Amino acid sequence: MDVDGPMSWPRWWKVVILLNVSFYSFMGNFYAAGVTPLFQYIVVDLNCTVEEASWLASYTVLTLGLSNLATDFITYHIGIRQAILSTMALFTGAIIWSAAAQSYGSLMASRLVGGLAGGIIEALGPLIVTQIFPVEELGRALVVYMAFLAAGSTIGPVITGFIASGTGSWRWCFGIMAIATGVNLISTVLMLPETSSMRPPQDTTHAETIDDDKVTQKTIEHAESSDISTAHRQREIWLCRSFFWRYHSPRPNQTWYKLFLEPFKMLLVPPVLLCVLMYGWTVGCSTVSSIVFSAAYAAPPHLWDAQQIGLISLAALVALIIGSPIGGNLADYLTMRASRRNGVHTPEGRLVLVGLSFLVAPTGLILIGLAISKNLSWVAIALGLGMLAFAVSTASSILLNYCVDCFAEHSGQIGVLVNVMKNVLGTILSFFAVDWYLERGTFKIPPASQKFQDWPQFSGFMKPCRFEGDIQNLEVIGTIPKEIHGTFYRVMPDPALPPYIDNDPWFNGDGSVSAFYINDGVCDYKQRYVQTEKFQKERSARKALMGKYRNKYTDAIEFQIRTTSNTNVVYHNGKLLACKEDGLPYAMDPLTLETIGYWDFEGQVQSMTFTAHPKFDPTTKEMVCFGYEARGDGTPDICYYVADAKGKITETVWLWFRSPNAFPGHLSNAYENEQGSIIVDLPMCDKNAFFWWPDKHGRAPKPEEITTHMKRFIIDPKSNDMELPVPELLLAKQGEFPRIDDRVAMRDYSHVFLNVFDPTLPMNIPAIAPVMGGGGPLFNAIGHFNVKTREYSHFFPGPTSLVQEPIFFPRSSQAPEGDGYVMVLVNQYETMASDLAIIDTVDMSNPVAIVKLPVRLRPGLHGNWVDASDMDK
């Protein structure tokens, strides 16, 4: 052995080299796998799909593996040290680029560069270990290296999940990675000399090249001098091997294609082939298991978030810690014992442990499969993932140790083969695992049905309407006042196709917009579906494709935009905006009701969601709006916007929001009084009004148990008490969907019109109950309430009718507050058709006109009146 070669260096130095190289391998896999919890943030920030975000991980894993193929070529020309330092510098720059990327394409490019730079160390790691550690320490050193390599993809998602949750930004994750890699680079510059002991060609004697004879000669001279210490000799070795300008390989005249093909010759050696296949199989199974587990446990009934999914990786980390001494110390001990017994070095001594691990890995796979298919405890998943990780740290590591022990001069080529197989197989599986699981696994998309299920919410008056069309000159009973000129728009959730999984009557139905255009006493009617992504894809497929509300994991295909735009329709800046709380609105032409497209205010709105209940300043025509869960499902952010009359966003605020559970109803009005207090009027419900969605314990109130009353909060903004005050009861009658004169929005007001349920009014329940369907609200009157005088009157449509949400518009722009007309759709259960009642607020008891529809309109949520004078502006 060369007395000054890497084998003779001090143990502490070799350990530092091992830790530097191992940490670099850790960071490469951390960079590749750590992006997975960040998908929801990247989708929002860079406007890409979830599938595109997943490619950021898959392609990085692929480039990590393929870069190994260039290892021989690079080290042949510049040596091991320079190869590591140059790629580590490039890797650090790529991470910084990732942190600063402003587009999806830029982020993808940075990660491809990072993968190509960060993957070469995976082939050089085993080579360096064999160069600096003797046989009796080889197993332990390789297990340390392999543990770091595996830990990168194991705990990387845990770390990034916590960083992103704590900072609210995916960019900080890459920033912290860059800092860690930068420190690693500095340490490697200082502590990693050239480990190769190869001699330059005989005719090369340049002083700046690596020359082992020169180092040896210097050492002999130094040894003869009593004043030169061992530390000084090591300093000379460090300087000579660390700082040189040219590197000469002892393998002259090697062409690039020979260097490329050199590793593949080792596949003809049976132990190497077995090692490559075993390593690729165990790591590939770990990859596919993690991907399928993430998809399965993010879906019902588990609904795990990103942090919970990331934390399960700790089970694999524990298994790596347990398995490392077995694959390292114990394997080394068995090798040395066999060598002593046989009198010759016997690397086969460690192979006795491989058989046990071959049994552990398949058992872990079976356990994971059973746990997912039978919805077993997460402990079973953790145990299964741990068993796979244990196999990686024992069987795979032992086989790799055996190969590099037997073929030390080819350890670099063996590392290339192992890592190419591991990463390429992992990439292939990551592309197909979830699709395969959804198609063949435990979650099956039910077969498409052409018939709506026999559920109450899809029967009687709640039966889906499923039509589009125009009707001119609707029949009118009474006289529509000539002064009424404008359009009443409303939207209803109306499933165009039978759903295959969800059964709620409100949230997943396709948005269908009605327009009642009134002029000169005549009413024309138009009905159109909002052409959402869901509606278009399902109509093309002729079957339902979307699963549960706000649960993308139950969809038959991936949707970029899941909203159905079925909650409200408002007019702003020449467009109708069909809104729903779980996405941005779709814009529609107010005259034709043709869909313009998904509307992000020409790129100004960055939130993923938009309120279905925007408010308008009556003077400036500004639209005050917000989006909750603004960065994606489950995020705590609320993004508040103000858009001027021309659609320009003038103010944007991001808030981190927490609030106790409550069930407030729709806002009546809110304003600041003369004393500086904030007045908030709204219905308050004492129970879960969405009774069709039980709580996590399966509890849900019966519809008849739910009560909701108009209440007033008086909030002192100067108070130090952060608790809301006890509200004042305004109206004891059960009511919802309050509407006011919009000219006094956000100002002191008097009049409110709302749906009420009045049990004192006569109702023919035997006639209504069999045909009303399920899920529809039981409101039998429209109330007119003065919040100042507490005067109350109502419109009652009759004992076999119920009412939908009312709207109010003034008689003229100069009319006093509350002087005008109320419009409301009336459900006529005797005829199973809908009427549009027009009521003069001077006398709420009798409508001035009833517009008869020859069709039935399913109960909707919200609508608005747009005066012709406003539409012309």
Which residues are part of a known binding site for Fe cation? Answer: 613, 666, 862
The binding site consists of 613, 666, 862
- What is the amino acid identity at position 594? E
Rounded CA-CA distance 112/97 in Å is 11
Given a contact cutoff of 8 angstroms between Cβ atoms, the answer to whether 626 and 640 are in contact is yes
User: What is the CB neighbour count within 10 angstroms for residue 52?
Assistant: 16
Q: What backbone phi and psi angles, to 5 degrees, belong to 402?
A: -60, -45
Nearest-10 Cα torsion for 842, 847, 853, 858: 70
Q: How far is CA 305 from CA 38, 308, 384, 751, in A?
A: 12, 5, 20, 45
Given a contact cutoff of 8 angstroms between Cβ atoms, the answer to whether 92 and 181 are in contact is yes
Rounded CA-CA distance 279/282 in Å is 5
Half-sphere exposure of 790 toward its Cβ, with a 13 Å CA cutoff? 7
Query: b/e for 659-668, b at 16 or more Cβ within 10 A?
Result: eeeeeebbeb
User: What is the CB neighbour count within 10 angstroms for residue 479?
Assistant: 10
What is the sign of the dihedral through the CA atoms of 640, 642, 646 and 648?
negative
Pick the closest to residue 836 from 514, 575, 533, 542 (CA basis). Answer: 514
| Element counts in the chain: helices (H) and strands (E) | 22, 25
Q: State the DSSP code for 392.
A: I
Q: What backbone phi and psi angles, to 5 degrees, belong to 707?
A: -125, 145
Pick the closest to residue 42 from 175, 176, 173, 179 (CA basis). Answer: 173
Given a contact cutoff of 8 angstroms between Cβ atoms, the answer to whether 25 and 145 are in contact is yes
Q: How far is CA 726 from CA 664, 708, 712, 713, in A?
A: 14, 16, 9, 7
In 443-567, where do the E strands start and end? Answer: 469-471, 475-478, 486-493, 511-519, 522-529
Rounded CA-CA distance 288/123 in Å is 23
